[in-house]
Structures are given as C-alpha cells and as structure tokens.
Amino acid sequence: RANAWMSQCSPEAWVPRREKPVWLQRRESLREHARARGGMLRNLPTLPFDLWLEMRLQLEAAGGGDAQARRSLRRYYQELGAARQEARGAGPSSRQGAAPAHGSAR
C-alpha cells in the first residue's frame, strides 16, 4: 500500500515534451539555449588584451583601414594569442571541445 502511494507521488521518469505544461516547456527550452550558448562562448577563440591593444593602436595609426584589413588583422592577432597560449602549455588542445588553430592569415 505504501509503495503504491509512493509511486503515485513521485514524478514519472520521462514525460513527452508536448504533454508538459507550456511554462515547463519554455523553461526547458530556455535552459537548453543557455547551455548551448555558454558552450559556444567557451569555445570562441580568445584575443588577449595586450594583443588587442596592439592591434587597435596599429589600426588607429593606419587610419582605421577597411573591414577586410580589420578582419585579417584580428585573425592574425587571435592566432598569435593562441600560439602564445600553446607555448605556455595552456593551449586550445587542453580545453574541452576547442577547435584546432588555423594557418596564419597574413
């Protein structure tokens, strides 16, 4: 008798999404989206501040440059930052799910 009562009170192991209340569906989808976004942001290539500042000063000295030059310069400094991290032993290969570094853009 107690087992029957316990099984009635405990949540089911799995309920199809469409049978859950709308607010629960929305909460779960928001959590999944936040988890996916967090994973994406964790795996973005990083650009250390000192390299960003050097890149910014170069762009200002050159008068800003066009969009293609800015993208090329940013990619170059990102790869330079990744190479510095690898040289220190904390490269992207040590991060989970990190993409391998690409060849130089210059």
**Report field, pTM of the whole predicted structure over 0.75:** no
Q: What is the pLDDT of residue 96?
A: 43
In a domain? residue 36: yes
In a domain? residue 98: no
Q: How confident is the model at residue 12 (pLDDT cuts 50, 70, 90)?
A: low
Q: Are residues 78 and 53 in the same domain?
A: yes
Asked whether residue 100 carries a pLDDT value surpassing 50, the answer given is: no
Amino acid at 94: S
DSSP per-residue string spanning 54-96:
HHHHHHHHTTS--HHHHHHHHHHHHHHHHHHHHHHT--GGGST
Domain of 29?
17-45
Asked whether residue 103 carries a pLDDT value surpassing 80, the answer given is: no
Q: What is the pLDDT of residue 56?
A: 82
In a domain? residue 30: yes
Residue-wise pLDDT tens digits, 24-78: 899 999 999 999 999 988 877 777 788 788 888 888 887 766 788 778 888 888 8
In a domain? residue 102: no
Q: What is the pLDDT of residue 90?
A: 55
92 versus 73: the higher-pLDDT residue is 73
Q: Are residues 32 and 53 in the same domain?
A: no
Dihedrals φ, ψ of 57, to 5°?
-65, -40
In a domain? residue 40: yes
Total number of domains constituting the chain: 2
In a domain? residue 85: yes
